[in-house]
Amino acid sequence: MQPVRRLMHNLVSLASADHYLFAPDDLRALVPDISNGAFKTLLSRAVQAGYLARVCRGLYLYVQVMPSSGLLLFHAAARLRADGFNYLSLETVLSDAGVISQVPVNWISVMSSGRSTALACGRWGTIEFVHTRQRPEELAPQLSYDSRCRLWRASVPQALRDMRATHRNLALVDWSVAHEFV
């Protein structure tokens, strides 16, 4: 069987609505007998054929089981930085709570123990990772787990503290709404 067919055959049995994002190493394990150069070509061909979509560097989407819920950026952020401490905060949390009136479209902000960067994820949007030195044990009372997003989520007071700590623009904050959460 050709490598592309083997890869797709194995993905059909492994992928689900909860597991649809794959790192190249995940995919590599499905076709271990080909060379690294052939594997890179295989990924390129799978994308061209429409079986996979490249979300960003190091992450592929199996398009047959892509969720319609609009949570792809959140799931991608959780997958990309699974080895570090990360939580949703800043404008993402404040917008969801109605504290700022503007809704970030196709943009999520994640506080991270890793380095700061903004990752372009093509037509899905951008994931902004903002470095924090805060420790999980310090923030535990201010965080709750959001199982839909697969990430920790800051409380509104913590998101406001993060906004100040990262020198973000506070002009959009509706302080009358924000004081309800404090």
141's CB contacts (< 8 A; 6+ apart) are none
Q: What is the Cα 117 distance to its own chain's centre? A: 13
Pairing verdict, β 107-112 and 86-88? antiparallel
pLDDT for residue 80 is more than 80: yes
Model pTM score = 0.90
80's CB contacts (< 8 A; 6+ apart) are 56, 58, 59, 119, 127
| pLDDT band (50, 70, 90) for residue 172 | confident
Closest CA to 162 of 132, 119, 141, 129: 132
Can you give the residue ranges of every domain in the chain?
Answer: 3-65, 72-181
Q: CATH for 3-65?
A: 1.10.10.10
- Whether the CA torsion 108, 112, 114, 117 is positive or negative: it is positive
Per the CB < 8 A criterion, the answer to whether 143 and 87 are in contact is yes
pLDDT tens, 94-103?
999 889 877 7
Question: Which stretches does DSSP call E strand in the chain?
Answer: 21-22, 52-56, 59-62, 86-88, 107-112, 117-120, 126-131, 143-146, 151-154
Rank 65-69, 70-74, 149-153 by mean pLDDT and report only the highest: 149-153
